[in-house]
Structure 1
Amino acid sequence: MKFPAPLVSGRLVKRYKRFLADVVLDESGEEITAHCANPGSMLGLKEPGSLVWLSQSDNPKRKLKYSWEVIEADGALVGINTAHPNKLVEEALIDGRIPELAGFETLRCEVKYGKNSRIDILLEQADASKTYVEVKNVHLMREPGLAEFPDSVTARGAKHLGELADMVREGHRAAMVFLVQRPDCAKLSLAADIDPNYAAAFKAAAEAGVETYAIGCDVRLDGIDADKDVALAIS
């Protein structure tokens, strides 16, 4: 995934109200408010003074011109925009970077299923069999090299796991793909101390036959690619 235009650098003043971030731009010294497309806690990724990069929009209808894309943390570039993971996983699937989910005939996004929900990606084979793929963004790292999910309580995430398990019971395949938007993690685990209910829902889904995969990212200032192996460290 390429950013459509060069990113603008700045220093983070604060992230607040979940979707807003004040940033002092490096070039002009102006303090602006950027959109933060991330509903999580962003634990470890919102330290004031951190170097960040923003994209710009020329859409006159947008209230906020800038969107926060990347932060420098723990010596690495980390992607924080949760609008990107679905596209990144879609690209990875098309390129065959998740071999266990290769061999599909068609790929569709945001398809209605379950109880008034939409699956992130639906893979369909020539024999009409289906694989339901849910994508979760990951960027929490509390221990060097170990990515963790979630970074805050997510009742919605637990609901998704239950719906994936339902698809397996109906005779389909279902998979959870954790997209780690940072290059410095070789393993992924669940942050059960942050959300024990999600950990319990994950265990139940796995026992029902929901598959789990993780893939890491090369985060650059011109784009992001999901192309790194991440091992599962989930007991």
Structure 2
Amino acid sequence: MQFNKPLKHGVLRKRYKRFLADIDFGDGHITTVHCPNTGAMTGCAEPGYEVYCSDSENPKRKYRYTWELSLTQDKDWIVVNTQRANALAGEALRNGFIEPLKNIREWVAEQKYGEQNSRIDWLGKSDDSPLCFVEVKSVTLNEGGHGFFPDAVSVRAHKHVQELMQMRQQDHRAVLLFMVMHRGINDVAPAQHIDPKYAQLCIEAADAGVEFYAVKTHISDAAIKLDRQIHFQLR
């Protein structure tokens, strides 16, 4: 996935109100930009980090710029815009990047499903085969090279695992796909130390037949690309 135009480079001053961040682009004043990430962003939003923003070039938009990337003091790239994880997951699925899913014929994004009329990130369809429901998670919490999800207690994430188990009960395939959007992460696990209920739900889901995969990405200010499938440690 290429960035269509060069990203604007700056320095993070602060992130606040979840959706806003103040950036110093070196032009003599502080610019408020849109932060497309509702999570805790632990380790991703430290004041002084280099940041890269896309430009909507829309003068009518309240916040012209969107925060896309952070660069840590250790020079690890992080994708802040969580929408990029879904797009990269789509590339991985459609290109057969994940071996156990490569024979699925068609992938469709954002389809309604389940009793609560939720939306699944990707729905896989094949002739004479069960449907395949894929929920995508962006992993940016890095602790010594190990990635964890979630980075805060998440009732919404609990609900997603429970809905995937319901799909398995209906004899469909169900997948949790963790897209690693932090260059310093080398493996992924549920964050037992942060959200023990989520970790337990993942174990129950795996026992019910839900599949778990993790994909590492290569990140730069020019593009985000698929790198390789990495280990997901469930227990």
TM-score tier, shorter chain, comes to: over 0.9
1:94 alignment partner in structure 2: 94
**1:195 and 2:195 aligned:** yes
CA distance in 2, matches of 1:173, 1:195: 25
Moved over 4 A (4+): none
Unaligned stretches of 5+ in structure 2? none
Give the whole-Å Cα distance in 1 for the aligned partners of 2:203 and 2:77: 31
Q: Percent identity?
A: 42
Q: Hey, what does 1:133 align to over in structure 2?
A: 134
In the alignment, which residue of structure 2 is the partner of 1:217? 217
Aligned to 2:53: 54
SS in 2 for 1:232: coil
Aligned residue for 2:13, secondary structure, equals strand
Contact 2:112 2:118 in 1 (8 A): yes
TM-score w.r.t. structure 2 length? 0.96
Query: Which string of whole-angstrom CA distances, capped at 9 and with x for unpartnered residues, describes residues 140-187 of structure 1?
Result: 0022x2111111111011101000001011011100000011222221
Tell me how far 1:129 sits from its aligned partner: 2.2
The count of residues paired between Structure 1 and Structure 2 equals: 233
What's the counterpart of residue 171 of structure 1? Answer: 171
Q: How far is 1:189 from its partner?
A: 1.2
Question: How far has the Cα of 1:128 moved from its partner?
Answer: 4.5
Paired with 1:183 and 1:171, the residues of 2 have a C-alpha distance of: 36
Q: Which amino acid aligns with 1:89?
A: A
* 1:229 aligned counterpart, secondary structure: strand
1:55 alignment partner, SS class: strand
What corresponds to 1:2 in structure 2? 2
Any conservation in 2 of the 1:186–1:229 contact (CA below 8 Å)? no
What does residue 63 of structure 2 align with? Answer: 64
- Cα–Cα, structure 1 residues 128 and 232, in superposed 2: closer, same or farther, change >3 Å? closer
- Structure 1, unaligned runs of 5 or more: none
User: Residue in 1 aligned with 2:180?
Assistant: 180
| CA–CA distance in structure 2, aligned partners of residues 34 and 95 of structure 1 | 33
Q: Which residue of 2 aligns with 1:106?
A: 106
TM-score of the superposition, structure 1-length normalised?
A: 0.96
Contact 1:134 1:177 in 2 (8 A): yes
Partners in 2 of 1:183 and 1:19 — Cα distance? 23
Structure 1 residues 180-226: Cα deviation after superposition (integer angstroms, max 9, x where no partner):
11222221111111111211221211111100000011011111112
